[in-house]
Amino acid sequence: MAIRIVPHSAELRDPVHRFNMRMREGGSRWGFYTEPVPTWIPPRVGTPVWREYHIAVDDQGYVRGGYALKPQPWVIRGEQRTVSDWQGPFSEGAISDRYAVLGIRMVRDMLRKQPLLFSWGHGGHEQPVVQMLRRMRWLLHDTPFCLLICHPRRFLRHNRLLRGSPGRALALDALAFSGAGSLGLRALHAAQRARHPRRFRAHASEVPRFGPWADILWETHRDKYLALAVRDATVMNTLLPEGDWPRGIRLRVTRGGRDLGWAVVMDTQMQNDERFGHLRVGSVVDCFADPDDAGEVAHAATHFLRVRGVDLIMSNQAHPRWARGFAENGYIVLQKRRIFAASPALREALEPLEETLQGLHLTNMDGHGPMTL
């Protein structure tokens, strides 16, 4: 049966809906976007970054899979390149051996469209998609996760990811109600701060958009990184359009009246979330500054979210100096929690690899975005 990979369109809404139903009936929790135009950064003439959807359709009109691309300008060792994040591929190969090779075919189709391809996440090296990428000779680079627990008792009582069994839930409840859990977690964060005895004085102010000040920061500090997505005002205002995405809070970070950098944070009250239950989750989803000022920016963003009353703050960071900046603010830095997967062409563009990966700045905004937050 012949399968074509085509751009998503209005005519494919119903076939995609039926594909999603088959996936659920087959036991998969994955599906694809029914609407052909992305709600976040849709393709528009003249925009520097956008998302686009592609669908695998057989000759009978059945949708068998799909994937998303997000092309974006990057600067790699001083040269501007177009690098694309990808989401998926999602296919009926997850529930039927008949379509087992469709995932590989869709990845190859992505590479024809955008050779400099990456994804960030995946959940672990044992995942089938990661094993597929390893066979295709992609770069697989582990990156850390940063976590600060602001309200330990609520964290212990409502973090659904940790409460995966009745026994574990009972143990966490005992720690919460006895107070031992709160003491232990606070001591853990205090010990982390004590290992990095720096004092930070930066201040965060909420702003409605990125202005010329952000362009100055970009021009001043971009060459202090070896690989990163462009973060000038035009790109950032495209990623965070006024009014279209009200949950993303833009913070201008200053110290002594001088611009140090910026951060994008979120404050989300979760509702029956599979990971966080009903916790109020703060997240630092993007940031930029001189890497030497990473701790100052992390401090300002953390203070802003603490004042708002979040239960925990999390951030995904690839750059070692940014991970250290969060550690200097008491965050627990869990190593090897997310995988940066780079196509063979992108891997070649990043050479010399070991050096460049130490200067790679990557946040949630560079990938699929913080849509699940």
pLDDT (tens digit, 9 = 90+) per residue, 294-348?
999 999 999 999 999 999 999 999 999 999 999 999 999 999 889 999 999 999 9
Cα radius of gyration (the chain): 21
Q: H-helix or E-strand containing 118?
A: strand 117-121
Q: Mark whether 193 and 331 lie in a shared domain.
A: yes
Q: Mark whether 96 and 162 lie in a shared domain.
A: no
Residue 210 lies in a domain: yes
pLDDT at 216: 98
Residue 134 lies in a domain: no
Q: Mark whether 258 and 331 lie in a shared domain.
A: yes
What's the whole-number mean pLDDT along residues 183-199?
Answer: 76
Which of 354, 270, 356, 350 has its CA nearest to residue 312?
270
pLDDT at 32: 95
What's the whole-number mean pLDDT along residues 238-246?
Answer: 79
pTM: 0.92
Q: Residue 43 and residue 51: Cα distance in Å, rounded?
A: 6
Domains of the chain: total:
2
Q: Mark whether 154 and 209 lie in a shared domain.
A: yes
pLDDT at 82: 97
Of 65, 99, 114, the last residue of a domain is: 114
Beta bridge partners of 361: 228
Residue 132 lies in a domain: no
Residue 124 lies in a domain: no
Residue 14 lies in a domain: yes
Of 70, 92, 114, the last residue of a domain is: 114
Measured at the CA of 44, the angle between CA 210 and CA 120, to 5 degrees, comes to 70
For residue 216, the one-letter residue type is I
Q: Mark whether 92 and 153 lie in a shared domain.
A: no
Residue 163 lies in a domain: yes
Average pLDDT, the chain: 91
Which of 292, 297, 304, 215 has its CA nearest to residue 266?
304
Residue 344 lies in a domain: no
Residue 352 lies in a domain: no
Q: Residue 326 and residue 246: Cα distance in Å, rounded?
A: 25
Q: Mark whether 222 and 324 lie in a shared domain.
A: yes
Q: Which domain holds residue 58?
A: 3-114
Place of tokens 């919460």: 176
Pair 297, 324: CB distance under 8 Å: no
Pair 65, 93: CB distance under 8 Å: yes
CATH for 11: 3.40.630.30
Q: Mark whether 101 and 160 lie in a shared domain.
A: no
Q: Mark whether 186 and 281 lie in a shared domain.
A: yes
Q: Mark whether 313 and 205 lie in a shared domain.
A: yes
Q: How confident is the model at residue 236 (pLDDT cuts 50, 70, 90)?
A: very high
Residue 79 DSSP symbol: E
Q: Mark whether 107 and 166 lie in a shared domain.
A: no
Q: Mark whether 80 and 28 lie in a shared domain.
A: yes
Q: Residue 109 and residue 212: Cα distance in Å, rounded?
A: 39
pLDDT digits (tens, 9 = 90+) for 45-96: 999 999 999 999 999 999 999 999 999 999 999 999 999 999 989 999 999 9
Q: Mark whether 173 and 282 lie in a shared domain.
A: yes
